[in-house]
Amino acid sequence: MAKENKNSDALISTILEGIEDVKGKDIKILDLRDIENTVCDYFIICEGNSNTQVNAIVGAVQKKVSKTLKDHPWHIEGSENAEWVLMDYVNVVVHVFQKHIRQYYDIEGLWGDAKTTVIETSY
């Protein structure tokens, strides 16, 4: 189990670096481990200003994780319109939203029982 947490920690920090490289905004980590019947251990949620920035965030995360950890997402969904792109790294699922779509679906509200960490950015 400790190895799994170490792998998740490395993956999370690498994903965050990728998001920050292209100025992803309002970044939150939802820890789902204490909630029953969840599909993964963590959600990382962030937003971009446009479909161009959403796709840039997705690309930056993929590139950073691939280069640093030699890992690839198991599945990616939503790249076509880039309003909400989901990147599934099995234990960690990344949600990259445009602001209006994030507000509409309110993932943070749906998973209100999760421990939430807000990532402070300097930009």
Across residues 17-25, what is the average pLDDT? 98
Residue % of the chain over a pLDDT of 90? 92
Which domains does the chain show, CATH number per domain?
A: 2-119 (3.30.460.10)
Beta bridge partners of 119: 27
Compute the distance between CA of residue 14 and CA of residue 118 in angstroms, rounded to an integer: 16
Position 3 pLDDT exceeds 60: no
- Calculate the CA 9 to chain-centre distance: 13
C-alpha distances out from residue 21 to 39, 53, 63, 108, 117, Å:
28, 11, 11, 23, 19
What is the predicted pLDDT for the residue at 7?
84
Position 11 pLDDT exceeds 80: yes
Altogether, the residues listed in the chain come to a count of 123
Per DSSP, helices labelled H in the chain are 2-21, 51-69, 99-105, 107-110
For residue range 46-87, what is the model confidence (pLDDT) as tens digits?
999 999 999 999 999 999 999 999 999 999 999 999 999 999
